Chains A and B, each alone.
Chain A
């Protein structure tokens, strides 16, 4: 069964450092997403991406965050200067179509745990 692959599984970084989290979506999917889950809190939407553009973002997704699809397979989330409150599990997801209803569902990766010290 096709999978969404995320690397690294766990990253520890110092506050103020740049972090890049990587994702390989399912190959025929066109829509890509990042979600995060701070320990003990809900899974929250960060951003959706289609056709090399952000299609929707949450208020969490400020100027410190950016996303990119640098080649035909990878989808990355960059945090420019990490803060303590960025410590969370970050989930990448992909879907074949945009609107999340009907037959369209998201496939999630296993997550990347980011710890900011």
Chain B
């Protein structure tokens, strides 16, 4: 069975400082992993995805994530936070054998000036 654990429900950073949002996964198959972001009153927007190519994945808005099989992790990072990064972030896994995406519980990122 697949599952995703987002280790922090809330993360607060100052503008210009690094962002780290942590995600661990469990999957019986070779997983595809995604990060989605949800801004208030907006849909779920794809930030980046890992699909068994390069383990370091670059996404939109300066975000990137590294797939570490030995640690079953897919943490999301950004070198320098911007006020517009404040949102809810979801780590998502799919093994590709079903139609389902399995979502984590989400991490709310706050960015202070």
Contacts and interface: CB of A to CB of B under 8 A. Distances in A.
Interface of A: 3-4, 9, 31, 33, 35, 41-45, 48, 55-56, 58, 91, 93, 98-103, 105-111
A58 B98 CA distance: 11
A91 B44 contact: yes
A68 B101 CA distance: 21
Contacts, number: 67
Contacts of A35: 101, 103
Contact of A108 (B44, B95, B97): B44
Given A31-B99, A56-B98, A56-B99, A101 B32 contact: yes
A86 B36 CA distance: 24
A25 B15 CA distance: 36
Nearest to B96: A101
